[in-house]
Structure 1
Amino acid sequence: MAGENADLWRLMLQHSPIGMAVVAPDGHLLMVNHALSEMIGYTPDELTRVGFQELTHPDDLDADMELFNQTLAGEIDSYRMRKRYLHADGHVVWGDLSVALVRDADGEPLHFISQILDVTEQRLNEERLEAANAEMEAIFETVNVGLLLIGPEGTYERMNKRHAETMHLPFPRGHDGAAGQLGEVYLLDGRTQMRREDMPSYRATQGEEFDDYTYWVGADPATRSAFSTSARQVRGPDGERLGAVLAYQEITDLIRAIEVKDEFVASVSHELRTPLTSVLGHLELLCESDDLPAEAAAQLRVVQRNALRLQALLADLLLIGQVADGTLELHMGPADAAAIAREAVEFARVSAQRAGISLTADLPERLPLRADAQRLRQVVDNLVSNAIKYSRSGDAATVTARQEGDRVVIEVADTGIGIAAEELDHVFGRFFRGGEAIQRQITGTGLGLSIVGSIVAAHDGTVTVESEQGRGTTFRATLPARL
């Protein structure tokens, strides 16, 4: 290399932002640029007095020398490798090294041209990622929750040990590794076998995300297990769907405990109903007696009112029991949602006035639908009662009803104390009472909204709630008209 071309080459080498060196066949550095000098902390003069062997980390030297010698021997023309260099201050610099051999006209080696890109930061990031992946791998395999990764086409990509251990329960004859395969999987009633579109894996492949999807697995009711499953979609940086991840938590003990509780409540409710009916009958006869002292008659009326409250509570408990065991019966027929809501408002008006609450209705003349009128009245009664109970003097409650396509919508809105955001997901649970209600000592059993949700669901409808603490609450029941 001589003349103008040599000068141009040297100029390019010196000003290149990438570390560059001309290396003799024995490894001695003949020429280095400023970028390489800065990268490993030596001056150009210091570098031209050593060979690359002295600058290379001992653990990478053998691999570098093997490739170096293969190139000299003509077995390869060039090579590339990632290696560590020893900085002047003792720390390690990672370099992406590319090496090419220049030969003379007779094929004899003249020198090597080396380019070294500093990838230290990239390598540190890779190490952090590797450490994070190792930690995630440990968590993935050791958590007491079954984890399953499903690819975009519905194939099982990976599962952890916990999930693999439970796969024989729903699929005793094995699984083909694709979402939606049917097995010994049953809805929460324990009798209805899941259809393909109900299987959590299939729902996840259809893009659904859900929490606490509960069901039974196993053919034998005595030994089967209950699971709660949640699903989330996995997406790429541009939002493209890459698959889904599902988490499976066994909750057999919890579900069986709930069943025992439900059986106990139902049993006690049935046992109490008969003697309570007898008590109420005799109280009615006594209260109608003309020869009772005024004080005794007043005390009997107090007993009667409390006995009636107990009867209403037992009726609620029996209804909850029917919902739990799937025996709730609806007596469907022509009904008028507007008339039902109007009656509920009139019934609650005295209570609202006594509490200082403005109760109004915005209802059409008629709003026909096919429903169990008595059960639907229970829904509206409970919602209106709650609106009054959880409002303050001076607040307002409004009942509206309207037709939306083939659906009937009944709304009960109030300007009362509202519901805390963290409690909204729990309001339809049995026996749930919010912190504000407990703090204010508002009476109640926590069954009303559970009954509302159950009756609406039995009509193939939905009930939703919107609330802001201190500003009020709106419950919205939507039912099919089925005219």
Structure 2
Amino acid sequence: MRAAWLRDGIVDRTRERTAMLNQLLLGTVVFALALLIAIGDFAGDTALFFAGVVVVFLATAATFVVPWNRISAGWVALVPAVDIVAIALMQLAEPTSVMGLLWIFPTTWIASTFGLLGLFGVIAAIVAIAMLLFVSAQEVVTYTKLLVPFVLVAVAVTSHLAARRSDAQRTLLAKQAVLLGQVLAVTRRQEQELTEVLDAVDFGVIRIGADGRIAVTNDAHGRLQSSVPTADGDAAAIAYRDDGVSPLPAAEGPLERALRGEAFAGQVVWYGSPDGPRQALSITARRLVDAAGQDDGAVIISRDVTAELTALRARDDLVASVSHELRTPLTSILGYLDLAIEDPAVPDAVRANLDIAERNAERLLRIVADILAASSSSSSSVEASLTPQIIEAGDIVRASAEALRPRAEGRAITLDIHGVEAAPIWADALRIRQVVDNLVSNAITYNRDGGTVYMGTTTDGTSSWILVRDTGAGISEADRERLFQRYYQAGAARRAGTGLGLAISRDIVRAHGGELALHSSVGVGSTFVVKLPAIGPGDGEGTTR
């Protein structure tokens, strides 16, 4: 067993250093005093004085020689005790001097190092020595002579209290260090567990700090990034919109949106080269707040949905194939129904039944047409069928309002077109009319009886906007996130249509180089905004022609 003063291979020399420093300080002062007396006049007993000096020097030498850390702590008290006796000899050599002030050094040492026992012991020693000096001097005791022992007692008490305060602070710091060590160990363990959990999941995680720097990523994020196909080993993958064809502007990228402070869910981005395979990631960003409620960055979650979207496209292809096969017989049925209805020999009762059959057949044909439009593998088929030119958006909106006014009047819904202004757009008139008809039709269908549908157009010369706003029940946040997905129907819409109208409308708008946006508040209503270019590809001004 190693000695108590040796732990972990490091020798604790605190006690030795304390003894050396305290004694060296006293020895230096005594040496300077002895030097002054040696070269000057001294009225006292020189032999007795230097006897005390020699004792101090011997005690000082002992502090450098004796291994105090290897012996009991109580033995160290012998050094200041010897100093007290040596200083008493120096004071006896010249009773009228103030040599007794040197007792401050051993007094401070004992009172601060040896606790209450040392404090009371040094006070008793000071009082006893002072009385002996007074008796041996055989002089009248004055206030000046009494001042030295009082000062020494005050210094002893002050030193003791300061030492206890310092010990208490060291003890508190030691406890805090232990507590911080425990907290650090727990934090490291939790960090390790969190890292293991994040690395075990199959979706990518990115933690962005409030300053925009990426603080944490997991292994799955690296795997997803490394598996993104590129044109070559050095070129970065190109990002595409959720249709897999339209390039995604850099400003609309998930990371850029998160850095701007946005929160979003389920943004689908395709990555890959123009002519090679592509990978689809569904990306979600959630904002974080700190204890003060301030923005603390975001967490971005990415998931590979290539297989899911590929399966959905396969489903769309199947539905498109079936729908295409249904279209021809439906067209034939409608033709023969028209012939039968126009035949004067058909009784009125039978003609009424034929009218019902014709209306349902026409509705079925419209549904088939919507399915065919929505089941195209990309927006390229929509874009290829466009014949854009500069047209007036206000004319499209007015024509749509006029066509749907009878349907609105059946529910006492007002179509307000006072917000229509001159706004040129570079677009295919039939396709944009299809979009506006769908938006206005939805605004009527999901409005309240007696409500209002506000329509408007405006432009800034470069872009033009078409607005359709209703006073209905609004759309919840959960539904808004999926509203433009094909076949998705929100709330009451599940019984009113196919869930294709908005998806088709957005594809048409994007094929024009525009965007379809939604703003809705539950209980207030919904607003759809169509943004379209106001000028053609080679035009410098958005003038109507």
TM-score (norm 1): 0.67
Amino acid at match of 1:454: D
Correspondence for 1:480 among 529, 533, 541: 533
Q: Work out whether 1:406 is the aligned partner of 2:462.
A: yes
Task: State whether residues 169 and 184 of structure 1, in contact with CA within 8 Å, keep that contact through their aligned partners in structure 2.
Answer: no
CA distance in 1: counterparts of 2:322 and 2:291, whole angstroms:
57
Q: Work out whether 1:104 is the aligned partner of 2:23.
A: yes
Q: In the TM superposition, what whole-angstrom CA distance separates every residue of 1:40-91 from its partner, at most 9, and x where no partner exists?
A: xxxxxxxxxxxxx9xxxxxxx934xx445355688xx9xxxxxxxxxxxxxx
Correspondence for 1:182 among 213, 233, 236: 236
The aligned residue for residue 62 of structure 1 is 7
The aligned residue for residue 42 of structure 1 is none
Q: CA shift at 1:299, angstroms? A: 1.1
Amino acid at match of 1:277: T
CA distance in 1: counterparts of 2:518 and 2:487, whole angstroms:
17
Task: Pick closer, same or farther for the CA change 1:291–1:477 going to 2, 3 Å.
Answer: same
Task: Pick closer, same or farther for the CA change 1:325–1:368 going to 2, 3 Å.
Answer: closer
The aligned residue for residue 302 of structure 2 is 248
The aligned residue for residue 314 of structure 1 is 368
Q: In the TM superposition, what whole-angstrom CA distance separates every residue of 1:388-440 from its partner, at most 9, and x where no partner exists?
A: 111232222222222345322222222222222321222222112112444xx
Q: Work out whether 1:454 is the aligned partner of 2:507.
A: yes
The count of aligned residue pairs is 393
CA distance in 2: counterparts of 1:172 and 1:474, whole angstroms:
39
Gaps of 5+ in 2: 25-59, 69-75, 77-108, 114-162, 536-541
CA distance in 2: counterparts of 1:153 and 1:469, whole angstroms:
34
The aligned residue for residue 464 of structure 1 is 517
The aligned residue for residue 372 of structure 1 is 428
Q: In the TM superposition, what whole-angstrom CA distance separates every residue of 1:109-158 from its partner, at most 9, and x where no partner exists?
A: 66888633130553444344234313312222212213356899999886
Helix, strand or coil for the counterpart of 2:403? helix
Correspondence for 1:421 among 477, 497, 504: 477
Gaps of 5+ in 1: 1-25, 28-52, 54-60, 78-99
Amino acid at match of 1:133: E
- Between 1:132-141 and 1:212-221, the stretch displaced more is 212-221
Q: CA shift at 1:211, angstroms? A: 4.5
Q: CA shift at 1:350, angstroms? A: 0.8
CA distance in 2: counterparts of 1:126 and 1:102, whole angstroms:
37
Q: Work out whether 1:445 is the aligned partner of 2:487.
A: no
The aligned residue for residue 205 of structure 2 is 147
CA distance in 2: counterparts of 1:379 and 1:321, whole angstroms:
17
Q: Work out whether 1:133 is the aligned partner of 2:191.
A: yes
Task: State whether residues 431 and 445 of structure 1, in contact with CA within 8 Å, keep that contact through their aligned partners in structure 2.
Answer: yes
Correspondence for 1:261 among 310, 315, 330: 315
CA distance in 2: counterparts of 1:433 and 1:192, whole angstroms:
25
Task: Pick closer, same or farther for the CA change 1:367–1:203 going to 2, 3 Å.
Answer: closer
CA distance in 2: counterparts of 1:192 and 1:457, whole angstroms:
8
Q: Mapping of 1:110-259 within 5 angstroms?
A: 115-116=170-171, 117=173, 118-119=175-176, 120-148=178-206, 159-170=217-228, 182-183=236-237, 211-216=265-270, 225-230=279-284, 246-259=300-313
Task: State whether residues 171 and 184 of structure 1, in contact with CA within 8 Å, keep that contact through their aligned partners in structure 2.
Answer: no
CA distance in 2: counterparts of 1:393 and 1:287, whole angstroms:
35
CA distance in 2: counterparts of 1:172 and 1:343, whole angstroms:
47
Task: Pick closer, same or farther for the CA change 1:209–1:354 going to 2, 3 Å.
Answer: closer
CA distance in 2: counterparts of 1:172 and 1:414, whole angstroms:
45
CA distance in 2: counterparts of 1:240 and 1:420, whole angstroms:
26
Amino acid at match of 2:333: V
Q: CA shift at 1:168, angstroms? A: 4.3
CA distance in 1: counterparts of 2:371 and 2:485, whole angstroms:
13
Q: CA shift at 1:381, angstroms? A: 0.8
TM-score (norm 2): 0.61
Q: In the TM superposition, what whole-angstrom CA distance separates every residue of 1:273-304 from its partner, at most 9, and x where no partner exists?
A: 22222222222222222221001111111111
Q: Work out whether 1:324 is the aligned partner of 2:382.
A: no
Task: Pick closer, same or farther for the CA change 1:323–1:263 going to 2, 3 Å.
Answer: closer
Q: Work out whether 1:342 is the aligned partner of 2:395.
A: no
Task: State whether residues 398 and 413 of structure 1, in contact with CA within 8 Å, keep that contact through their aligned partners in structure 2.
Answer: yes
User: Based on CA coordinates, which of the two structures has the bigger radius of gyration?
Assistant: 2
CA distance in 2: counterparts of 1:476 and 1:190, whole angstroms:
23
The aligned residue for residue 489 of structure 2 is 433
CA distance in 1: counterparts of 2:344 and 2:492, whole angstroms:
46
The aligned residue for residue 335 of structure 2 is 281
Helix, strand or coil for the counterpart of 1:249? strand
CA RMSD of aligned residues (A): 4.2
CA distance in 1: counterparts of 2:269 and 2:287, whole angstroms:
21
Q: Whose helix fraction is larger, Structure 1's or Structure 2's?
A: 2
Q: Name the % identity.
A: 33
Task: State whether residues 244 and 378 of structure 2, in contact with CA within 8 Å, keep that contact through their aligned partners in structure 1.
Answer: no
Task: State whether residues 509 and 515 of structure 2, in contact with CA within 8 Å, keep that contact through their aligned partners in structure 1.
Answer: yes
Q: Work out whether 1:396 is the aligned partner of 2:452.
A: yes
Helix, strand or coil for the counterpart of 1:416? coil
CA distance in 2: counterparts of 1:324 and 1:101, whole angstroms:
88
Q: CA shift at 1:342, angstroms? A: 0.8
The aligned residue for residue 95 of structure 1 is none
The aligned residue for residue 437 of structure 2 is 381
The aligned residue for residue 6 of structure 1 is none
Q: CA shift at 1:208, angstroms? A: 7.5
Amino acid at match of 1:348: L
Amino acid at match of 1:378: Q
CA distance in 2: counterparts of 1:473 and 1:195, whole angstroms:
27
CA distance in 2: counterparts of 1:392 and 1:240, whole angstroms:
40
Task: State whether residues 262 and 324 of structure 1, in contact with CA within 8 Å, keep that contact through their aligned partners in structure 2.
Answer: no
